[in-house]
Structure 1
Amino acid sequence: MITNLDELKWAIQKKVLVVGNKFSSGFLDELKKYCQVQVMDTYEDGMQQIFRDMHKADYVFLLIGSVPHALTDYTKRTDDLNENSQKVQIFDTPAKYDGVIRLHYLFVNSK
């Protein structure tokens, strides 16, 4: 749970794109309490649209177990999305609070 007022003000302004399984409900429900969340499924929404939306978001949370390799390959070769950027965060099998914990980490490292 995020309780720091500065962190709450920071988080509410952030747009987080979650790419992967839409059925990660606990993860998504907790994250939605703090920031703007957009959820996309690579098998329903189309890769080109996801690529565009990734660049528009402040952060991209990839649920790696439910995205094709083409998506991770794209992030690796794109400057603002690659491993040198904090924009893309990868989750294997996210637990309920993992997104909020990562959001807190990003806030702490944004200063």
Structure 2
Amino acid sequence: FYLGWSQGTVQMFYALATVEESFLQDNLYKFVAFAPCTICPVDGPESYWEDTLFSFPSIGVYDIYGPNWDRDYAKVCDQLGQEACDYASCDWCQPMSVQSESHW
């Protein structure tokens, strides 16, 4: 059985679309998706995201607000400019991967 909630439903839908069929046939009996998957509307032009969050990996920043955030935040501000620096400034945010933030 696989019980998915929110991001877990997205992960299973991805697996169902991409993982070898025989693996799921052998290992998955039933999939229950408890929470709907939705996409939030974009809060501005695509160029905003390209200039901020989506550019983090290009300078070697793959997680945000983690144990090395002071170093990475300085790199974001120095190399990507004020808009990216403003986006990344958060004193109460929880650590997460840039990939996860990009998808959610």
Whose strand proportion is higher, 1 or 2?
1
Common topology (TM > 0.5) = no
Tell me which of the two structures has the higher relative contact order, counting C-alpha pairs closer than 8 angstroms and 6 or more residues apart: 1
Q: TM-score normalised by the shorter chain: which range applies?
A: under 0.3
* TM-score, length-scaled by structure 2: 0.26
- The structure richer in helix per residue is 2
TM-score by length of 1: 0.25
